[in-house]
Amino acid sequence: MARPMPLLFGVHAHQPECNFPEVLERAHARCYRPFLEVLHSFPDFRFSVHFSGLLLDYLFERHPQDMALLEEMVARGQVEMFGAGDAEPVLAAIPVRDRIGQLSRLSRKLEARFGQAPHGAWLTERVWEATVVPALADCGFRYATVDDYHFLCTGKSAAELDGYFTTEEDGRRLDLFPISEALRYRIPFAPAEDALAYLEKLAGLDRRAAAIYFDDIEKFGIWPETYDWVFGRDWLRKFIGGVLASGSIVPQTYREFHSNQRTRGIVYLPTTAYTEMNEWTLPAVAANAFADLVRREKERGAYETDKAFLRGGIWKNFLSRYPEANWMHKRMTSLSQRLAELPENAAGMRQAEEMHSLLYAAQANDAYWHGLFGGLYMPHLRRGVYRALIRLEALLDQAMARPARLRLDFDQDGSDELFLHNDKVQAIIRLDGCASICELDAYALEQNFGDTLRRHDEYYHRLILRGDTKAKQSAGIASAHDRVGFKHEISAADIQPDKRARMLFADSLISSTGLAEPFHVYGLDDDSPESSAPEARFRAQVGNVHILKQIILADNCVSISYRFEAADAAGFQVELDIAMPSCDGVGGHYIHQGKILGSFGQSIELEDANEITLDDQFMGGSVKLASSRPVRLLARPYFTVSRSEDGFERIMQSVWLTLSWPMVRGKSQATLTLEIQKARNDTASTP
């Protein structure tokens, strides 16, 4: 009788630490708990699992009874725990020292909790760069999983990808398992009997070494329709029961297979990720051209043979596509460098541990990219990154002070930025002619009020404009990749890309026709004395209007003063996009003269206003904007449109304020003050 074919079955579980509590609990109730309960009832079904460190901590704290099941399965040899970076970073996107720190932290955690140090590594989003090999090897990892697509790009055939291969970098070895795309698209979306029939077919091939599967556990209950399909209609029990009843398939852990089999040979993989990611990371025009090319290849039946030669972009393209992602990334790497350079005795052991925890939390991948699952468009995920960065920066400043005023090209875009800060607030100003604030941090609230996102041109906009809601259907259920739906009504105006970044105190002149015309001609005032004070002056000449703009930080306030010499201008306009954590939820309100005018999700218009307060209960504080002269004030929510596994949705990014007033001939002036206050009785809850 032929030897049964090993099935290497692995699942990966992760949730962002800053996700909404109800989302975490729903994920546990609909996926993690029932999955573990089902697998626990089949002790002969061996498999491998990876939980990100932050999610593992959450589940041990909130649901120890389910973690007890996992501990028991590990103890009886049913489960192999995989490691990774503790906070689920894309390893290729963080410094080498932090790769080692993150990998080691989760490995220590797994050994302490389960008595088993991991040999296998899960690579976040299966993003592969050869540069990650030394850190993985130095941290004790012997093998990792990547997509079979990575191997096909080297010229390997699908028939060869039934075992592990070996690669090396800088003298370190790492073995690599190719995850089957065919299995990823069948499990759990095809009927259980169809998935089993496919495995039986593989097992019937001569000398087939193994079937290799490793994918997101969230497909087993969290993706649309999957909870009823996997648990309500017993897909998972049918599948596992079928595998165990088969005489030609035997479930194994990766560790078992790796210990008993030899490598299939040396391989060097290109920098890549899974095929969908390679499309998402391209700019919209290129992404649509790539999608059209793939569609044509599929229509003529050539895709499976040619897909290795259809290459999209790489994960790091997200940092060049989205300035907001690049800015966060450079903030993170800069603070990592500051932490690495901190003198040994500058901080105590406990504080140093907290600093590293904050840095690692800021390296979590979720908020740095955008696709069907990436969270760049999600304000609460970006806020999680900034909260960690702002807290870390405050601790670093306490350990070793930095200048109150610093100029450099921080995000490497060819234009300098000016950092101004005191112990309460920090304002970062772009020196690109706008003299606008791109980041405004309140250390007590750990909030970046400049954390918003402009409307970008996206590859899926053409689906919205077509109104295409048809999903590819088969005998099973549709994968989220094939599903197109609408959570909200979307108009063409909702997806019109912005012409400029969304910032605070962006200025325009209002012409005689009433049109606001933005300008980018501010220059840093050469006469401004070099000092350590957190302030800056800018000058601009726009037609017959001369403007002096001064930005000053004092305590918890940012004041912007304007002095005008005008010959002929109808008016002046200042726009602020202020990131408020409650967005259009119930926790945020406009307050004017002691009265609540409405929520942030509403539009408010005031004539001859001198002040307005934005109060946010989730943040546990408020922002008061005051003007030295009466202004016309318009406040409304600013939305972007994104695509998730649940469909297209409108997401509020910021409160969009527009202040305007008429100008007079000759000299005039105006001062705007932004005061940030933490609530006295802080009962805030994180959204």
What amino acid positions are annotated as catalytic residues? 125, 216
Whether the CB-CB separation of 137 and 166 falls below 8 Å is answered with no
Q: Within a 10 A sphere around the Cβ of 204, how many other Cβ atoms? A: 11
- Say how far apart CA 106 and CA 535 lie, in whole Å: 43
- Say how far apart CA 490 and CA 469 lie, in whole Å: 13
SS3 of 544-565: the string is CEEEEEEEEEECCEEEEEEEEE
Distances (CA, A) of 658 to 150, 577, 606, 638: 49, 9, 11, 12
Distances (CA, A) of 74 to 32, 79, 256, 298: 16, 5, 13, 42
Burial class (CB in 10 A: 0-12, 13-18, 19+), 668: middle
Q: Give the contacts of 408 (CB within 8 A, at least 6 positions apart).
A: 416, 417, 419
Whether the CB-CB separation of 88 and 373 falls below 8 Å is answered with no
Angle at 640 between CA 639 and CA 642, to 5 degrees: 140
Whether the CB-CB separation of 15 and 32 falls below 8 Å is answered with no
Q: Give the contacts of 391 (CB within 8 A, at least 6 positions apart).
A: 358, 446
- Say how far apart CA 653 and CA 339 lie, in whole Å: 31
- Amino acid found at 475: A
Q: Which among 31, 57, 35, 48 has a CA at the least distance from the CA of 83?
A: 48
Whether the CB-CB separation of 593 and 621 falls below 8 Å is answered with no
- Say how far apart CA 134 and CA 386 lie, in whole Å: 29
- Amino acid found at 594: G
- Amino acid found at 633: L
Which pair of tokens denotes residue 452? 């918003």
3-state secondary structure of 347: coil
- Say how far apart CA 123 and CA 126 lie, in whole Å: 5
Q: Which residue intervals of 63-95 are DSSP H helices? A: 64-75
Angle at 414 between CA 409 and CA 418, to 5 degrees: 30
Which pair of tokens denotes residue 63? 């649901």
